[in-house]
A and B are shown apart, each in its own frame.
Chain A
Amino acid sequence: MGIDKTTALYETFKSKLQVLSGECFRVNTAKEAGELVCKVMKEKGINNVALLNSAISLKGEFVNQISQAGITVYTDHFREVTPEAHAGITQVDYAIAEFGTLIQARNDASVDDRLCSTLIPIHIALVSTATMMPTLAEAMTTIHQLPQIPGFVGFITGPSRTSDIERVLTVGVHGPKQLIVIFVDEQVEGVA
């Protein structure tokens, strides 16, 4: 994908996500992503975080960076820690520019991936910029063409929300109240 096209898709994604009160960033390297994660968590007063390690977080040495920032990092026992953790960090597999949507489509349908992105009040999602697709149609085809449709495919578009009482929009119900998306341009090998 050309640089211009990528940037155009990113801008679309960002504008769609911001309308839904999601936060969106783009960095060059995994290391920078780690730095940004620390900065954002400090600003938000996050003291501990459930980190499901991934290609980007390993390459960016997230555990070290976050610990050094004075924030507790949990990297296992997610069933116990996620109900209380302040935030969760996961890497998602694709993004759709059309709606500002993230896609979780791990072939192992990891339950920890879901816990770290669902139970916590703040979800920080890492995404490789190269996985961005323009439209829903393309995303559906991409998922269908995987060797097998993963047991769990989750589209995430902004934080959780409800309008069930008097149709007044309230952000943050059962799922995360905040969603922070960080696109990483550096191509990092390995499973998300």
Chain B
Amino acid sequence: MDKDFKTKISKALGDDVLRGALGRFGDAYTLARAKAYEGYDFDALSENIVQVKSYAANHIDEMMDQFEKAATARGAKVYRAATAADAKKYVSDLVKKKGIKRIVKSKSMVSEEILLNDDLIADGIDVQETDLGEWIVQLAGQHPSHMVLPAIHMTKEEVATTFSGHLKRVEQPVIAELVKTARVELRKKFLEAEMGISGANIAVAETGTLMMLTNEGNGRLTNTLPPTQVFLVGMEKFVRKFEDAQHIIQALPKSATGQLITSYVTMITGPTPAYYADGTVKDKDFHIVIIDNGRRKMFNDEKFKKTFQCVRCASCLNVCPAFQLLGGHVYGHIYTGGIGTILTNFVNSERDAKNPQNLCLQCGKCSEVCPGKLDIPQMILELRNRMGEKDGIGAAPKFALDVVSNRRLFHSMLRVASLAQLPFSKGQPVIRHLPMFLSGLTEKKSLPTVAKVPFRDVIKKVKQEVKKPKGKVALYAGCLIDFVYPKIGEGIIAGLNEKGYEVIFPDGQSCCGAPATYMGDRKNARKCAVMNIEAMEAEKVDYVVSGCPTCTHALIDSFKELVQDDPTLLARAEELSRKSRDFSKLLFDLGGLPAGGDGVPMKITYHDSCHLKRSMGVFAEPRKILTDTAGVELIEMKESDRCCGFAGSYSIKFPEISGPILDRKMKNIEETGADFVVVDCPGCLMQIGGGLDKKNPKIKVIHTAELLLQKRKKAKMNKK
């Protein structure tokens, strides 16, 4: 990550206008999208998209051949461009050959990608973007910051200034008037243009049909007026059958803008008639350019094949906590947000994706709303890992992660830390470079201290009372419970004891490797995996329980992937995966706890951790367990499953982004009027606890296991 990138980030964060516009949009979008999907089965719809798009991806050459044959039979000229330069040359040659001087364009992201306008303008051609947002951005000399809403980063005042400068007259910052100006000015351009250039949302292989979904009417005009027409089509737009397109027509508007359908859906099959300059009506000169420009490389890569399922709705941007704060321009290229980072990696270069890939919190919110079922965080992680393997991850993080994957060294350091005067200052070497909880203090939150006695020592002294024993559970503590929040571990023991399970603590366990995984250090992550697979000895217990969803995710998913190359380890990892549960999930699966609790009124609100909710689909279970406890009243907060901004090392790497994300969480918590925020993740606990400590120390944060321990212990004492 370079300095310029950090500068861009602070510039974006300091832009109140941008923050305001993006914030309002983010809020409104969520509601509009939900409303648009009312009465529709989103899962079924996205499953259909996955099917038709993955079929096309797996038969891409067949799709292109069929399309070319069908379109050619209808009179189209089809050209396949391997690179941006090929595509530009084709268009440029055509323009020169026909002596074309004036071009109107309706929206085409691929034309932005290949920077077509620059070439045409250099040739002295008048090229007009006609989509309002694109036109604004063009006049302002910028690039789109969003695939669907290119000028989302600009205010009406800025638009008015841009128009005034272009038209050499004063334009008022009144949106209706600005739109009118665009209509009048661009109408002239439409009527005199000799060529129209459009993008396509869908290309149907069997019929040679191109489809575009638009709202403003500029697409229809571009497709109707100029006698020469060029469609630029990214190779990912194909579907096999005409009817296959309906799933995209259904989902794209709903996911993109919260509309049931766009104002216009235009389907073009071969040349259509147009008026020529001499007043005659004849079929158009009709060209289709299919563009590869890095796409085939992307589809041929098993880990990125699914990008073909992307319909470019940009919903992943709209829900991304980082994008909502920063907008699109910090991503550096045409495609922005999470999916944009992945596309940039292939259509531009790995180097261009290197900075923006850091911006992903790995919160998984984007995957939840993606109609193409892309696991964007996973793909970004893959990029991160590849970059880490190729270029290294930097000396300081590398050292820290080397320490963490060496259990003895790591743990002895933590024990030293627990004896040192707390809190840590930045002046202390080594410690400040440890990942996660020991690193640099931030302005927004205070950090907890390392526990005097780690959980691995605490558990030896805990007296486990198990009446009618049913089995044995191995507790995987993870760094935060082991060394910072041992009380959570005690709560887990108490809960499981009550269900008839003895809890053991395999001593050889250490860090789950998540810090290494999320920083792109697959080597150290694998070391951690092996260490823990061997230590946990899942074969000897009924369950493995963890009170940290990030660790549980590692136990269930990551370890398996990391040791895939070793069949013996893989078998053990699979057994570990099968037996691993997050605490609240295990307790729920075991039938929950019998009625209990001290009955003292306690107003709580619940924060969903990203990994628990989205990686494991666990959210009802903790709520049930909590509200079954006498005295507990749950008040739901707004956006309870929105990331708290911790995201492991992210809060250290980007305190300036993590901070405002935490602020929003604080606001949502405060609005409930609850006295306690309950979480199931010690990372969230630390982040939210730190925020509350600074901002509103009256509200306390507590882990589910610890709450149960408190409320039920008291109840027992009361009974006595």
The 9 closest A-B pairs by CB, nearest first: A175-B217, A164-B133, A160-B217, A155-B265, A174-B217, A173-B216, A153-B267, A164-B132, A151-B272
Within 8 A of B (CB), among A122-139: 136-137
Q: Which of A109, A143, A175 contacts B264 (CB 8 A)?
A: A175
Smallest distance from the beta carbon of A149 to chain B beta carbons, Å? 5
Tell whether A110 pairs with B273 under 8 Å between CB atoms, given A160-B215, A173-B182. Answer: yes
Q: State whether the Cβ of A156 lies closer than 8 Å to any Cβ in chain B.
A: yes
Q: State whether the Cβ of B25 lies closer than 8 Å to any Cβ in chain A.
A: yes
Q: Give Cα A144–Cα B151 distance, bound, in whole angstroms.
A: 37
Digit string of B234-255 for contact with A (CB within 8 Å is 1, else 0)?
0000000011011001100000
Closest-by-CB residue of A relative to B243 is A140
Q: Which residues of A contact B132 (CB under 8 A)?
A: 162, 164-165, 173
Docked-complex contact B216 and A111, CB < 8 angstroms: no
Q: State whether the Cβ of B263 lies closer than 8 Å to any Cβ in chain A.
A: yes
Docked-complex contact B260 and A99, CB < 8 angstroms: yes
Binding site for B on A (CB under 8 A): 16, 20, 79, 83, 98-99, 101, 108-111, 114-115, 118-119, 136-137, 140-141, 143-144, 149-168, 170, 172-176
Docked-complex contact A154 and B265, CB < 8 angstroms: yes
Docked-complex contact A164 and B249, CB < 8 angstroms: no
Tell whether A99 pairs with B220 under 8 Å between CB atoms, given A110-B273, A151-B271. Answer: no
Q: Which residues of B contact A137 (CB under 8 A)?
A: 243, 246
Closest-by-CB residue of B relative to A156 is B264
Docked-complex contact A166 and B21, CB < 8 angstroms: yes
Q: Which residues of A contact B264 (CB under 8 A)?
A: 154-157, 160, 175
Docked-complex contact B216 and A109, CB < 8 angstroms: no
Smallest distance from the beta carbon of A178 to chain B beta carbons, Å? 13
Q: Give Cα A79–Cα B275 distance, bound, in whole angstroms.
A: 7
Q: State whether the Cβ of B625 lies closer than 8 Å to any Cβ in chain A.
A: no
Smallest distance from the beta carbon of A152 to chain B beta carbons, Å? 5
Digit string of B266-306 for contact with A (CB within 8 Å is 1, else 0)?
11111111110001010000000000000000000000000
Tell whether A153 pairs with B272 under 8 Å between CB atoms, given A167-B24, A173-B179, A176-B217. Answer: no
Q: Which residues of A contact B28 (CB under 8 A)?
A: 167
Within 8 A of A (CB), among B135-150: 136, 149-150
Closest-by-CB residue of A relative to B217 is A175
Q: Give Cα A25–Cα B267 distance, bound, in whole angstroms.
A: 27
Q: Which residues of A contact B151 (CB under 8 A)?
A: 164-165
Docked-complex contact B260 and A175, CB < 8 angstroms: no
Docked-complex contact B268 and A152, CB < 8 angstroms: yes
Docked-complex contact B74 and A161, CB < 8 angstroms: no
Q: Give Cα A109–Cα B267 distance, bound, in whole angstroms.
A: 11
Closest-by-CB residue of B relative to A83 is B191
Closest-by-CB residue of B relative to A143 is B242
22 CB-based A-B contacts, threshold 8 Å: A79-B279, A111-B275, A118-B220, A118-B224, A143-B242, A144-B207, A151-B268, A153-B266, A161-B215, A161-B263, A162-B132, A163-B149, A163-B215, A164-B150, A165-B175, A166-B21, A166-B175, A167-B24, A174-B182, A174-B186, A174-B187, A175-B218
Closest-by-CB residue of A relative to B21 is A166
Smallest distance from the beta carbon of A2 to chain B beta carbons, Å? 23
